[in-house]
Amino acid sequence: MDRSKVANAFAALDAYARRSGAPKIADLFAADPRRFDRFHACFDDLLYDFSKNRLDAETLRLLLDLTRAAEIEPRRAALLNGDLVNSTERRAALHMALRNLSGAPMRAAGEDVAAMVATEREKLLGFAEAVRSGKIRAANGARFTDIVNFGIGGSDLGPAMAARALSPFIADHLRLHFVANVDGADFADTMRDTPVETTLFIVCSKTFTTLETMTNAASARAYVAERLGPEAIASHFCAVSTQLDRVAAFGVQSDRVFGFWDWVGGRYSIWSSIGLSLAIGIGRDNFEAFLRGGEDIDRHFREAPLDRNIPVLMALIGVLYRNVFGYATQAVIPYDQRLARFPAYLQQLDMESNGKSVDLSGARVAYETAPVVWGEPGTNGQHAFFQLLHQGTQIVPVDFLVAAKPTAADETHHRILFANCLAQSQALMQGRPLEAVSAQLAAQGLGPEAIAALAPHKVFDGDRPSSTLLYTALTPRTLGRLIALYEHKIFVQGVIWDINSFDQWGVELGKELAQKLAPIVGDDSASTEALDASTAGLVKAARARRAGA
């Protein structure tokens, strides 16, 4: 990539933003009655409305020029062709192969992986269906009622988010639980009301050495051995890992081990065997529909023109706000309680992918990269942080997600929910000026002095941008589409910023230091002399409090 071309494209965007004076979004609607028609894109029933954003036709043209300068199309081809796009680890990033149900060739570094992916998927789904149907049973011969997934990061966030999102599709006789934190309270609280006699534990760790996961798994193993006997371990555990020797030593039977590949990053692994808990819960047909949703978006991302390509448009709007307007955060607000964990899932997907400060050459970047991603479901957020969104000093672009129809929920409730979603995006855009506030207060009977005192507090500046993703209903296929949209959006932004979206070296240092600190924290007689003053002080203070207790 010629970075000078990208710099020139950004300079053109900056110049246009200064020259145009960033007209208000509401004024753009007033000037163009067909603005919604011009600034939305569709794929099947999925509609992306980006008309409530700070851009006009010229801004969009300049953003599309940026994609050409950044060589988005050849970089997209490299990703989808299985080239070594993860340059620091010399790997492909071919999670798209995991949701390739067509049987078409998919190559990672030149090797067609479609057949082995299909074989592993069939093994996974066969096991999932056997557990779900009761063919595979607990040590006492009873049907499994509870599934406990041990993982951390992508091996927890993905399946935990998806299981909650798709809860209406989970078999009535099954409950899914997710334990991630090394804090023993996570495991203890999960097992308090979970019958170990009919619980299947899934240990998700590619290396079978992940500290948090293996600590929790070891506790579960001891828990099962104590209550059911050591011979029950083989019946109550399965694993997602590539380390067969370690898995065997733990006591998991070889036919209960499911693998994936080094070209699958953790935050992209929900499509792989990491999705075993979800597959057990929702069943083969629904899990394949989930995969098909991701495959739908892969096809759209590959084939749609850039100006109608939803993940590309999402990426460009995010780049506009991060690099031209300087907005530091991005809120994701699903108007669906079952998508409560979706913002947290996107936090990892976005911030671990693009939270980088060096470019592909290893040089420090001279521009901002990933925003801080956060959010909660509506309408709950309206009674919490929406105060800042509407009247705070920071402008926070918002993605709203909403279904036209409810899934296993009351229609009247959903109409109220839907109205609130549209109202919030409308209010963020339009605001309420001082004159309108004053007129409203006067109509309520307030006098001039009271109006002058109160009116400034009720002014909404408006002109706060948002986008809306509208779909028919939250189904397995829809969820697959939503996840894949954000995956490809993040990839496009990484290309524009010339960073590697597929490594995550930033998680390493803290883990290394934790391993060094663990013996010191675990032994109250261990020396703290090698530690910095703050860490040593905290260790000593904790020792004193434990002794006092």
Cβ burial of 318 (10 Å; 0-12, 13-18, 19+) is: buried
The secondary structure element, H or E, covering residue 119 is helix 114-133
Establish whether 295 is a catalytic residue.
no
Closest CA to 319 of 19, 34, 65, 27: 65
Q: What is the DSSP secondary-structure string of 395-462? A: ---EEEEEESS-SSS-HHHHHHHHHHHHHHHHHHHH-B-HHHHHHHHHHTT--HHHHHHHGGGG-B--
Longest dimension (CA), the chain: 82
Q: What are phi and psi of 400, to 5 degrees?
A: -95, 140
Catalytic residue among 120, 288, 352, 487: 352
Establish whether 511 is a catalytic residue.
yes
Q: Are 428 and 398 in contact (CB under 8 A)?
A: yes
Please list the residues that pair with 468 across neighbouring strands.
49, 400
Please list the residues that pair with 257 across neighbouring strands.
239
Establish whether 352 is a catalytic residue.
yes
Catalytic residue among 173, 511, 516, 540: 511
Beta carbons within 8 Å of 199's beta carbon, 6+ residues apart: 138, 144, 145, 146, 147, 148, 236
Q: Which residue has the tokens 């991701």?
A: 294
Q: Which residue has the tokens 């924290």?
A: 521
Query: 175-199: buried (b, 16+ CB within 10 Å) or exposed (e) per residue?
Result: bbbbbbebeeebbeebbeebebbbb
Tokens of 390: 């509407």
Q: How far apart are CA 160 and CA 289, in angstroms?
A: 18
Q: What is the DSSP secondary-structure string of 343-388? A: HHHHHIIIIIHH--SB-TTSPBPSS--PPEEE---TTGGGGTTHHH
Strands 111-112, 107-108: pairing kind? antiparallel
Q: How far apart are CA 211 and CA 360, in angstroms?
A: 30
Catalytic residue among 383, 411, 449, 529: 383
Phi-psi region of 292 (alpha: psi -120 to 50; beta: other; left: phi over 0): alpha
Q: What is the DSSP secondary-structure string of 185-199? A: HHHHHHHHTS-GGGE
So which residues are the catalytic ones? 352, 383, 511
